[in-house]
């Protein structure tokens, strides 16, 4: 099934992020991918620069991308989707995920284990408000044309940030009301 000299690999979210970006831009070097990420999907799902060197290489090895090295000075590697890559992306997007996404929020974990809610809320709120401004600015750029997906995703992110703000405001308020400092982490939790 798979042409010789190709490795079977498992496709991760990172893989699809790369495939998806390449579907949008046609072809790109890792550096260009990084730029793309930073001003689009990276606000939702960021990743370190080095992954944008490693992951395309991996995908090319497995036949999802073509890799094409420039001959001149920079000798950049240029990647583009193969048919196989396009199909994989298509299959992926057209299969709805039912899975619930855990928050995995470090601040909530600290809160769970007894951090001072008021201090934590302050730190979180300042960051969240900055983030909200950024998102609102970006949303203003939507002129209603082009694919809706990115904008809807951005809207979802905005909802999330807004809710987080309300949540932490409430937590801070409750914390101040009960005057409880950090609660000791030694009693039992939810039964």
Rg (CA), the chain: 22
- Ramachandran quadrant class, 32 (left: phi over 0; alpha: psi -120 to 50; beta: rest): alpha
Partner that binds at residue 81, options a second copy, DNA, none, CB closer than 5 to 8 Å by kind: none
Structure tokens of 33?
């991918």
Partner that binds at residue 28, options DNA, a second copy, none, CB closer than 5 to 8 Å by kind: none
> Smallest gap, in angstroms, from Cβ of residue 167 to DNA?
24
> Smallest gap, in angstroms, from Cβ of residue 114 to DNA?
21
Ranges within 35-74 binding DNA (CB under 7 A): 47-51, 53-55, 57-58, 69, 72-74
9 part of the interface to DNA, by CB under 7 A? yes
> Smallest gap, in angstroms, from Cβ of residue 72 to DNA?
7
Partner that binds at residue 183, options a second copy, DNA, none, CB closer than 5 to 8 Å by kind: a second copy
Partner that binds at residue 55, options a second copy, DNA, none, CB closer than 5 to 8 Å by kind: DNA
CA 102 to chain CA centroid, nearest Å: 13
Phi, psi of 81 (to 5 degrees): -70, 140
Structure tokens of 42?
């990276």
Q: For the window 103-142, what string marks contact with DNA as x by the rule CB under 7 A?
A: ----------------------------------------
Give the residue with the Cβ less far from a second copy, 70 or 122: 122
Q: What is the 3-state secondary structure (H, E, C) of 132-177?
A: HHHHHHHHCCCCCCCCCHHHHHHHHHHHHHHHHHHHHHHHHHHHHH
Structure tokens of 137?
């600015």
> Which H or E run contains 141?
none
Helix, coil or strand: residue 27: strand
Give the residue with the Cβ less far from DNA, 9 or 153: 9
Structure tokens of 90?
């298509």
CB neighbourhood size of 34 (10 A): 18
> Smallest gap, in angstroms, from Cβ of residue 117 to DNA?
25
Interface with DNA (CB under 7 A): 9-10, 12-15, 29-32, 47-51, 53-55, 57-58, 69, 72-77
């Amino acid at each position: 099934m798979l042409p010789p000299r190709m490795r079977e690999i498992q496709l991760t979210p990172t893989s699809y992020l790369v495939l998806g970006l390449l579907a949008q831009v046609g072809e790109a070097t890792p550096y260009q991918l990084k730029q793309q990420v930073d001003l689009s999907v990276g606000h939702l799902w960021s990743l370190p620069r080095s992954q944008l060197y490693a992951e395309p290489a991996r995908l090319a090895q497995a036949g999802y991308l073509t890799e094409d090295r420039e001959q001149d000075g920079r000798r950049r590697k240029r990647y583009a989707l193969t048919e196989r890559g396009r199909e994989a992306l298509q299959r992926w997007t057209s299969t709805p995920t039912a899975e619930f996404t855990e928050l995995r929020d470090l601040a909530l974990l600290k809160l769970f284990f007894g951090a001072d809610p008021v201090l934590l809320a302050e730190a979180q709120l300042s960051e969240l408000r900055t983030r909200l401004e950024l998102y609102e600015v970006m949303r203003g750029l939507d002129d209603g044309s082009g694919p809706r997906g990115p904008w809807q995703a951005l809207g979802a992110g905005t909802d999330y940030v807004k809710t987080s703000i309300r949540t932490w405001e409430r937590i801070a308020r409750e914390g101040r009301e009960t005057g409880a400092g950090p609660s000791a982490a030694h009693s039992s939790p939810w039964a």
